[in-house]
Amino acid sequence: METRVTDHRDWLAAEFEKQRPQLQRVAYRMLGSVDESDDAVQETWLRLSRTDDAAIENLGGWLTTVVGRVSLDMLRARRSRREDYVGSWLPEPIVSVDGQTDPEQEALLADSVGLALLVVLETLAPVERLSFVLHDMFGVSFDEIAPIVDRSPAATRQLASRARRRVRGSGVDDAESGLAEQREVVDAFLAAARDGDFERLVAVLDPNVVFRIDTGPLGAAARPPVEGAEAVARQILARGAPLAPLARPAIVNGAAGAIVGVRGRPFAVVGFTVVGGRITQIDIVGDPDKLPQIELGD
């Protein structure tokens, strides 16, 4: 009998591991944090291990809704703690340099979601974010989402619809899909910053560009977002020009970006959103707790 129970637990653990990449993607889109996503997935496993899985008809669907519920609870708790956060809060970036990615993060890059979209998702109410992520990104039905958000299916549909309008209104859906095209624009931006050329910077920036920086909850260098091409260009030249020579190309959440570091260690990751050949958003993550453990070399 004990052998049979052990065999079943081994089978259940193996089935869970098959679902882990999907669960990580759901949690990351909900939380924008690799560490918190791992915590949400671990909590999902604990709940499964305490459940009579014989009553679960669709294990993958059950796990997806449970990790969504866990992520929703974590998101609500985190928001209540972030009232005193200094400056902009940005998600934890997924970074690849020279084609090398942390194997544990490869699952998060599948159908990758850009930093800009995660920033928009952060502006949504938690129940809107969950409804949008589960339905629009993972195809979960509103009938399945409704009990999680304690709404009717019709009301849940409205939550997702409001979130969808916010996402579309932000323009992040219009971002250039070609990595080569993005890289050309980002390289032009970095070259202008290195040269301290104000006019060239303005030329590569969208008139309504937004510049955000996240230096952490206690970051002394934190600033509110800066908007407008000329204002952003001045900010870049005043604060970022000395750092531009230290930047090297990177893939940030599936898009052309940069990583900045000295003595082989990064101290900032820069994500760009490119629309119509111009940069519409620049997001700098300088919070040490969010930076990837990447050896940059000399």
Residues 77 and 184 in one domain: no
Q: What is the pLDDT of residue 246?
A: 87
Domain-located, residue 157: no
Q: Which three-class secondary structure state does DSSP give residue 247?
A: strand
- Give me the number of domains the chain comprises: 2
Domain range spanning residue 217? 175-290
Three-state SS for 178? coil
pLDDT of residue 265: 80
Q: What single letter denotes the amino acid at residue 106?
A: E
Q: What is the pLDDT of residue 272?
A: 95
Contact status, residue 69 vs residue 127, Cβ threshold 8 Å: no
Last residue within a domain, chosen from 83, 99, 128: 83
Please list the alpha-helical segments (H only) found in the chain. Answer: 2-31, 34-49, 59-81, 106-109, 115-122, 126-132, 142-149, 153-170, 179-195, 198-204, 229-235
Residue 141 in any domain: the answer is: no
Domain stops at, among 28, 52, 83: 83
Whether 168 is covered by a domain: the verdict is no
What pLDDT, on a 0 to 100 scale, did the predictor assign at position 99?
57
Residues 183 and 285 both lie in one domain: yes
- Inside any domain, residue 64: yes
- Residue 99 in domain: no
Measured in degrees and rounded to the nearest 5, phi and psi for residue 260 equal: -115, 130
Residue 62: which CATH number?
A: 1.10.1740.10
**What does the block give as tokens for 227?**
């908007």
Helix crossing, 59-81 with 142-149: angle to 10°? 40
Give the mean pLDDT per block of 10 residues along the chain (298 residues): 66 91 94 93 94 85 95 88 68 79 54 82 95 95 96 97 93 80 94 94 97 79 85 90 84 91 83 94 91 67
Sequence-separated (6 or more) residues with CB below 8 Å from residue 76: 126
Q: What is the pLDDT of residue 218?
A: 67
User: Can you give the pLDDT at residue 277?
Assistant: 93
205-214 and 95-96 as β-strands: parallel, antiparallel, unpaired? unpaired
Q: Are residues 181 and 78 in the same domain?
A: no
Task: Using alpha carbons, select from 127, 175, 181 the residue that is nearest to residue 155.
Answer: 127
Q: Where is the domain boundary, 83, 111, 131?
A: 83
* Other beta carbons within 10 Å of 221: 11
Residue 116 counted as domain residue: no
The reply to whether 161 falls in a domain is: no
Quote the pLDDT of residue 57.
Answer: 86
Judgement on whether residues 79 and 181 belong to the same structural domain of the protein: no
Same domain? For 76 and 182 the reply is: no
CATH number of 184's domain = 3.10.450.50
Look at residue 103 and tell me if it is in a domain: no
Give residue 56's pLDDT.
85
Residue 249 identity = P
CA distance 200 to 112: 30
Three-state SS sequence of 15-34? HHHHHHHHHHHHHHHHHCCH
